[in-house]
Amino acid sequence: MSTPNQGRLHVSFRPSDRARQALDGLPGPVTCAAEPSGQDRSELLSDVRGAAALVCLLTDRVDAELLDAAGPSLRVVANMAVGHDNIDVAACTARGITVTNTPGVLDEATADLAFALLLATSRRVVEADAFVRSGGEPWSWRPDLFVGLDVSSGATLGIVGLGRIGLAMARRARAFDMRIVATPSRSAGEEAARLGIETLPLPDLLVTSDVVSLHCPLTPDTRHLIGAKELRLMGPGSVLVNTARGPIVDEAALATALADGTIGAAGLDVFENEPAVHPDLLALPNVVLLPHIGSAGRATRDRMAMLAIDNARAVLAGEPAPTPVHP
């Protein structure tokens, strides 16, 4: 039998009504930030003092400073995200603090957005919308007006990172009759074979693909995985989609490649120095820029918050966390 929760749980953002109800059902004290967008650094450092659990956002930097501020009572950091590059996992582990994330619950929503970016960039949707809204140039149907990539006419999608979200992206591409290639993955298994996904090393994938979609985690090995050299391999007319992590792409190199026609277009939901965006990207018509909304479905965000809360509850109750970063 598990023991009752001991210690305070702090949430670094204002939870939704559903998440608030789950928090109200916990036996221990709970404190929450006032804003849904989270707390500034000084507020978080103050409010985490003495907490036994922290439910946080990917924008919260959990480092030695924050761990020191929390003190020895802190037992679990529950990140409301799949990625956890905002957390010094090694420092937490050294202090006996469990780190958790929220995998699985946002796969479909993120893949939906990635495919939306694929279509928006390939068919130049945002450019065409701005053209109509501008009202500055008379127009009528003509053969050369905003011509783009025919996605469902034999186009090839290259997936970099064939995990859960990458496979969800592949399922959508299969429905559009795209050829699908991917970088090697030990976890893709039978579904990759069922979907007919071909495996290629990254340079060959870049040369082969009409659209390259990034779904790999941010690690030291994947930082700037896509730079000037890789963009040149993609070639004119190709499209880059990134819904993973911003620093996987060298943003300055991407801006140059988009401006000089090295590649045709890009769709970005994440940025290298988020929330800042490279100013050269802001000036370009052939890039679609979104404010990190890959998981921004109502039901998905609720599931993320509920899983993060359940991770924190479990650790405080002396139970195994449902989704620890390191099992």
Q: Is the separation of the CB atoms in 229 and 176 below 8 Å? A: no
- Whether the Cβ atoms of residue 74 and residue 53 lie closer than 8 Å to each other: yes
- The contacts of residue 196 (CB under 8 Å, 6+ apart) are 174, 180
Q: Say which residues have a Cβ less than 8 Å from residue 298's Cβ, sequence separation at least 6.
A: none
* List 124, 278, 292, 303, catalytic entry: 292
**DSSP assignment of 145-164, as one string?**
TT----TTTT-EEEEE--SH
Q: Is 286:308 a contact under the CB 8 Å cutoff? A: no
DSSP 80: S
Token pair belonging to 260: 């000089």
Q: Distance between CA 82 and CA 107 in Å, rounded?
A: 9
292 is catalytic: yes
- 211 has which bridge partners? 157, 239
Using a 10 angstrom Cβ sphere, with 0-12 exposed, 13-18 middle and 19 or more buried, the burial of residue 160 is buried
Number of CB atoms found within 10 A of residue 11's CB? 28
> What CA–CA distance (Å, rounded) separates 211 from 234?
9
- Choice among 164, 245, 278, 303 that is catalytic: 245
Using an 8 Å Cβ cutoff, are 248 and 242 in contact?
Answer: yes
Q: How far apart are CA 56 and CA 62, in angstroms?
A: 9
Q: Strand order in 265-268's β-sheet?
A: 198-199, 179-182, 156-160, 211-214, 239-242, 265-268, 287-289
What is the spatial distance between Cα 176 and Cα 99, in angstroms, rounded to a whole number?
Answer: 38
Residue positions annotated with a catalytic role: 245, 274, 292
